[in-house]
A and B are shown apart, each in its own frame.
Chain A
Amino acid sequence: QVQLVQSGSELKTPGASVKVSCKASGYSFTTYAMNWVRQAPGQGLEWMGWINTKTGKPTYAQDFTGRFVLSLDSSVSTAYLQISSLKAEDTAVYYCARTFFQASGSSSTSYMDVWGKGATVTVSS
């Protein structure tokens, strides 16, 4: 079945970097884009950006430029989120979510249809 398996919890000190992975299975990886979504403790969902899995081109939300990098390794059907210069406020659960897209004639549909279980990143000294 279609699933996204994310890497495990990480505990990092301020200033360090972290790389979270999201391995896709059950479908052709390059067919659908991959999104990353942040959820800080007790807070709502924040869309961070998405990466075109055909071209590797990322698009970032305004609040997630600079320290955040989205990348791919299509040979292992895996998307990555790297965060550098970690701050305490980066403590959150990070989800990957596939964007389903389908076009038919003049109509199209798109939505995040499959989500990973989330990877917890804790930044603390």
Chain B
Amino acid sequence: QSALTQPASVSGSPGQSITISCTGPNSDVGGYKFLSWHQQQPGKAPKVIIYDVSNRPSGVSNRFSGSRSGNTASLTISGLQAEDEADYYCSSYTSTSSTWVFGGGTKLTVL
């Protein structure tokens, strides 16, 4: 059972925006900036799309954005495209145990 809670699924139509939440105990999401989001397209390895809550690696579309409020982080995808259909995972680091944890994952369906 993951310490980071994500909705199991979200959906949206092309062109719309969606938001995926990631909620954890204060010592995880709320207290640390090592919060990242990974996209996993079907049959492929995960790929980081957001790090440090809201930063995008080079090459990642600016349609992806991240934010945090309290102990909930959010990933927003704007201008939904068919290629965005994938599983999305948040991940955070816990310094008390020097371990990482993933959220349970959210399946995004583009209608």
Interface of B is mostly: strand
Interface of A is mostly: strand
- Evaluate contact between B34 and A109: CB separation under 8 angstroms: yes
A51 and B105 alpha carbons, distance in the complex (Å): 24
Say yes or no for A110: interface residue by CB 8 A criterion.
yes
Interface size on A, residues (CB 8 A): 21
Interface size class of B (residues with CB under 8 A): 20 to 34
Given the known inter-chain contacts A59-B98, A109-B52, please indicate yes or no for A44 contacting B105, CB distance below 8 A.
Answer: yes
Number of A-B pairs, beta carbon distance below 8 Å:
60
| Contact bitstring B1-44, A, C-beta under 8 A = 1, else 0 | 01000000000000000000000000000000110101010000
- Residues in A with CB closer than 8 Å to B48 are 111-113
Supply 20 further A-B pairs (C-beta < 8 A) apart from A109-B34, A111-B91, A115-B45. A44-B2, A44-B87, A44-B102, A45-B89, A45-B91, A45-B102, A46-B102, A47-B91, A47-B100, A47-B102, A95-B45, A97-B46, A109-B33, A110-B34, A111-B48, A111-B51, A112-B38, A113-B48, A113-B57, A115-B47
| B-to-A contact residues, CB < 8 Å | 2, 33-34, 36, 38, 40, 45-48, 51-52, 55, 57, 87, 89, 91, 93, 98-105
